[in-house]
Each structure stands twice: as C-alpha cells, then as structure tokens.
Chain A
Amino acid sequence: MTTKPFGRRWAALLMAGAVSAVTLACTSSQVGEAVRTGATAAGASEKEAAGYGAAAGNLVSATGSIDPATERALGDGVAVKIFDRLGPRLADEKVQEYVNLVGRSLTGNSSRAELPFAFGVVENDTVAAYAAPGGYIFITTGALALMENEAELAGVLGHEITHVNQRHMEPLYRTARLLDAAQFAAQASGDVSEEQLAKYSDLADQVTDAILNKGFGPAKEYEADQMGVELAAVSGYDPNGLADFLRKMQAMESHSGGWFSTHPPTSSRIGRLETHTTQVLGGMSGAQGRTRFQKVISGMKPSARAQQPARGAVTKPGESPAATQPGTPVQGGGARFMPRSNAVGQP
C-alpha cells in the first residue's frame, strides 16, 4: 500500500465521522448519490464513483435510516406476521374505523404526518399494543376492554406512533442486516423469487420477534411514553390518559407478576409520566372523550370464529406458547393468547 499511514488514519477518521453524521438523517440512496457526486468531483472515474456510491449506500442500509418505501415494504411483512401470531383482525368495522379516526387525529399532529398510518384491532385478550415499520399500529381487544375513555386510547396509540416516528425499530433492521430483501420487496411488482422471498420472510420474522418479545429498551419506551403523551395533548386529549391506563395495568400486574420483564417497571413509567406532565406540559388539560368511546367500545362485537374473553380478562403467563412461533396459522374457534412475557414494549 503506497498511501502513507498518516493519510490512512485521517481517511478512516473522516469516513467514520461522515458516515455517522449522514446516517443520522439520510437514506441509503441519498448518501449513495452524495458520495457518487463527491467522488466524481474529487476526480474519480464514473465507474469508481458509482462503486463508492453503492458501497456507501449499502453501508448506510446496514447501519442507518431506510427510505419510507422500504420501511413500508418491510412493515407489510411484519404486519402479516403479527396477525399470524396474535390472532384475527376484529371483524367489527365500527371499532376498526373508530380506532383509525383516533389514531389519525394524533398522526396529523405528529412529526411524520404524511406517513400512511394504518391502525388495526386484533382479537386477543392480552393487554397490548404494537408498532410495526412503516406506520402499522396494532391494539388488542384486551387493551380496549381495559380502557374507559378515548384519552387513554390516545395515550396508548401516541406511544406506539412515537416508536414509528422516532424510528425506534431501525436498530432491529441493522441487527437483521437483511435490508436488501426489504428494498427488493419495495421495488418488486410481480413474482418474487423463492430466494428473495425467503430472505424477506426471515427479515420480517426477526423484526416481528423483536417487536413482540424484546421491545425497544427502557430509554426508548420512556421516550415513547413522554412523546406519546405530548402527541395526545397537542391533539386535544387529556395528557393523563396514558398514566391512567398504566395504573390499571399495574393493578393487573400485581396479580400475575413479571408480565413485562423486558419493559421498564410500570410504576417507574407512571412516575416519570407524572413528572413530565407537571414539569414539561405545565399541567395541561384536555378532553377525555368518554361518551363516544363508551358508545363504540361497549358495543364491540367479536368475530364469529374467535371467542372473545370477558372484558379485562387476564391470561395466565405462559399460556399458549405456540402463539409466538413464526408461521403458525391463525386458529379458529378460540382466541389466541400471547404469554405475558411477550407483551413487551406495549403499550
């Protein structure tokens, strides 16, 4: 190698710094294009510049932000896997529409208002909600059954929307390192090869596992709590909704214990939320939306093929572990339940 060691060190340092900074906010294609342009300007041949651009783009794909189309394509697969593992979509369209209206009221005030969010109610008595890449948000009938008003629903949905908007899932993609499969899926319009499909399915499985079983870590969960409450408040809801809901969860937790073993303790979440609401939101007030919530949710009709448990019913830890296995089919004739330890990161 003829390059001087001093020059190589500088090159490595600059490269690391540049890539770190760029990955904070740019997509792989943007970085690839920028590097290609810069390399051309610096005297590289067109072929060399294209190579550098592709390499930089691939590096960003593996370490940083992805473009919305790829994120959505990945989310499609994760959403399919989530329904497969949790249970059927609630057939009651009034409830589905209502949850979408509440969710869209929030996303319209959020930092990614242009993302096509979709909200779905899953028939499952576990008290849980989930966010998937690209703006898919899920909430269980068990969670809805525990709520008393729309402000609580807004708080929970706000938490999940924040996971999407703050891109809390991106480290999962980095871990998976299979993003090219999702990028391919985003571009594919016809038949997908078996090899690509296998990679895509594998990536969706890995991300789904992480969402359902591992969560995003305490720091991101606290951030989702706080920003979710702010999102609810800015949309006109009582910012205490999420804390009120968590208190009900805490009461249930005391009976079962260790539900959310990979989640911050519920008491800690409540304490932080109370501090945040007082110190940052200055005791803001808002609407609870109790009347219309009760009107819609009290009439919630389960699908014919899934027996809905009693409102607020609790499933024992470890029940039906098959529900967490990838690729297992949706069962008819009875709701499928996740083990309590899987209700992680939610809500």
Chain B
Amino acid sequence: MTDSKTNPRRRRAIALTGALAFALLLSAPLAWSQSARAGDKVYAKFDNVQVRDTSRRTLATVSAGTEFVVVAPGRPFYEVKLTDGRQGLVSYFQIQEDQPRASGLGGVLRGDRDIAEMRTGSGARGLSAAAVDLSEDGDATTQAVAAVRAMESTAASISNAQVEAFASQLE
C-alpha cells in the first residue's frame, strides 16, 4: 500500500476535503433565521440604516456594523436600543446577527458579499457592453437597448435626498 504522505492522489483528496470542510465551518453561522431575542445584539447590515421613532421620524442614521441591543424582535420592525441609550425601530430587513465586516477569511465568507453590493450600489450604472451589442448583432432592437438606457438614466438622476423628501411627504 502506498504511503499517504507520498501518494499524490490521496494528498489531493485530503487537501480538497480539508479546504471544503474549512469553508463549511466558516460559513455555518450564515444561516441566520432571525432568531434574535430581547437582550441579544444585532448589527446594521450596511450604511445609512435608519432608526425611527413610532411616528416614523428618523432618530438616527447609522453605518454598517453599528450595534443594537434588541428590545423586542418583530416584523417588519425590530425595537432596538442604541449604544447611547436611545430606543427606536429598525427595518428587520436591514439588521443581522453577525457583524458584517469581520476580518480575515471569516470576513471574506461572512461580510464581503454585502460590501460587494455596497460597491456596486455606489458605483457602476450603465449597460454592459454585451447588452449594448445585443442590438448590433440582431438579438434585440435598438429601441429596447435605448429603453433600458433611459430607464437607468432616470433612476440615476434621482438623488437619495429626493427620495427622502418624497417619502416624508407621504400622506
């Protein structure tokens, strides 16, 4: 029988198994089922998460990773306490039980997905070259490409301040 230390196939199998098991261990906490209870800590999922009072007025706007203590979990709002003692409501869509920006490989697996989305959100708009080429190759019409460009252009022309003003005038 070949020694496992010198058998390349066995060494590869062990290496691959070890690597995947390692990834499994690191990713296990990802399956958050919104099981937070009163007294637990939760965190803002990304930047510009709003904490509101019961009249939906903004109490605070917090950044990614800001810690809250759960006063009462619920849908669609969690009642939370900020570190300065103020209490308010946060959209349950925008909190998570693990810190979004852990360091090291655990951070890669747990947090970078959100960070990648932030980068996408703050940056690139505009059609990919391939989508534009669809019309040139006869796979789509130029009108359809122009329509998506116009759709993106309208969306990009609206600032967050405009959205906030619009939302505040809802009645």
Residues of A in contact with B (beta carbons under 8 Å apart) = 1-3, 7-8, 10-11, 14-15, 17-19, 21-22, 24-27, 30-31, 33-39, 41-44, 48-49, 52, 56, 65, 67-69, 72-73, 76-77, 79-81, 83-84, 88-89, 93, 96-97, 100-102, 104-105, 108-120, 136, 150, 165, 181, 184-186, 188-192, 194, 196-198, 200-201, 204, 230-231, 233-237, 280-281, 284, 287, 289, 291-292, 327, 329-330
Contacts and interface: CB of A to CB of B under 8 A. Distances in A.
B23 A18 contact: yes
A225 B150 CA distance: 29
Contact of B147 (A88, A111, A289): A88
A186 B134 contact: no
13 contacts: A7-B10, A14-B20, A35-B20, A38-B23, A42-B16, A43-B15, A79-B148, A115-B121, A188-B128, A191-B133, A234-B76, A280-B75, A281-B76
B129 A191 contact: yes
A233 B131 contact: no
Nearest to A25: B30
Interface in B7-48: 7, 9-24, 26-28, 30-31, 45-48
B19 A35 contact: yes
A184 B129 CA distance: 10
B53 interface: no
A330 B20 contact: no
Nearest to B171: A287
Contact of B93 (A8, A37, A104, A234): A234
Contacts of B30: 21, 24-26
Nearest to B146: A89
A335 B150 CA distance: 19
Contacts of B17: 10-11, 14-15
B151 A89 contact: yes
A194 B138 CA distance: 11
A234 B77 contact: yes
Contacts of B11: 43-44
Q: Is the interface of B mostly helix, strand, loop or mixed?
A: helix
B86 interface: no
A190 to B, nearest CB: 6
A119 B105 CA distance: 36
Contact of B143 (A30, A83, A188, A198): A83
Contact of B163 (A105, A136, A186, A191): A105
B154 A112 contact: no
B21 A327 contact: no
A118 B128 CA distance: 15
Nearest to B141: A329
Given A34-B109, A84-B144, A110-B91, 18 more contacts: A1-B9, A11-B13, A14-B24, A25-B27, A27-B113, A42-B16, A79-B131, A80-B147, A83-B147, A89-B151, A101-B166, A114-B118, A116-B125, A117-B155, A119-B151, A192-B133, A201-B137, A231-B93
B75 to A, nearest CB: 5
A89 B20 contact: no
B128 A22 contact: no
B23 A186 contact: no
B82 interface: no
Given A100-B154, A291-B171, A39 B15 contact: yes
Contact of B48 (A14, A35, A113, A185): A113
Interface in B93-140: 93-94, 105, 108-110, 112-114, 116-118, 120-122, 124-125, 127-131, 133-135, 137-140
B129 A21 contact: no
Q: Which of A93, A109, A186, A230 has the most CB of B within 10 A?
A: A109
A119 B156 CA distance: 11
A63 to B, nearest CB: 14
Interface string B50-79: 100000100000000000000000011100
B151 A185 contact: no
B94 A111 contact: yes
Contacts of A73: 128, 130-131
Contacts of B145: 80
Contact of A80 (B47, B112, B134): B134
B130 A200 contact: yes
Q: Which of A11, A49, A65 has the most CB of B within 10 A?
A: A11
A197 B27 contact: no
A81 B144 contact: yes
B49 to A, nearest CB: 8
Contact of A68 (B28, B120, B138, B147): B120
Nearest to B32: A25
Rank and list the top 5 A-B pairs by shortest CB-CB distance, nearest first: A38-B19, A114-B121, A76-B131, A185-B130, A18-B24
